[in-house]
Structure 1
């Protein structure tokens, strides 16, 4: 996050830098941090591949903490996605 940058601005910038997607509409519904989310990628720090999954079909290999948060936040995520259509 850059000095003076909002969380939403940071998200837009980072997503554009990492996977070249533009985010138009977004709503912050949570900030999660801590040791449970620390990941050291095999290649250092770059994202090599991204995939989308149905909230009901998250791969078994997904970090258990992330899966728990998706289960907790799933209804809110679905509500936000429907509202943006």
Structure 2
């Protein structure tokens, strides 16, 4: 059982703060890797921080497990929190606040083979041609990223 499941066992559906390291992976053509669970919205890959784990270890572990990629280096992009990352489902499910730690990666190995058991889709997209089903918060941050990359 992981940390969040343990906490949920103690606090039920009460608010929980979750640290979610995420990574914008760019290929040699400047396209970004987005992923989604079957039927969900597109976003950037990441995971939930576990006890005794660094944010970098969390990203590397999750990207390897979910997408089959090995992350070689990471560059901090930003840290985000606030009402945009607060979720309180209407049907009484778990309530949580996310602290997102965003990284950028251009140095990785592998072809990207999503874990079929988790029904994950993954695909590279041009920053100016993101799918309509992209999470609005992620889409806004990718627009910022595009501006930064154009200045480099």
- What TM bracket, shorter-length normalisation? 0.5 to 0.7
Displacement over 3 Å in runs of 4+:
none
TM-score (norm 2): 0.40
Q: Is 1:35 the counterpart of 2:83 in the alignment?
A: no
Distance 1:52 1:32, change over 3 A: farther
More strand by share: 2
CA distance in 2, matches of 1:63, 1:16: 23
Which has the higher relative contact order, 1 or 2, with Cα contacts under 8 A spaced 6 or more apart? Answer: 2
Which structure has more helix as a fraction of its residues?
1
In structure 1, runs of 5+ residues without a counterpart are 39-45
The answer as to whether partners of 1:15 and 1:22 remain within 8 angstroms in 2 is yes
1:1-85 equivalent positions in 2, closer than 5 A: 1-32=49-80, 34-35=85-86, 46-76=118-148, 78=149
TM normalised by structure 1 equals 0.66
Rg comparison, structure with higher value = 2
Aligned CA-pair RMSD: 2.4
| Gapped regions of structure 2 (runs ≥ 5) | 1-48, 90-117
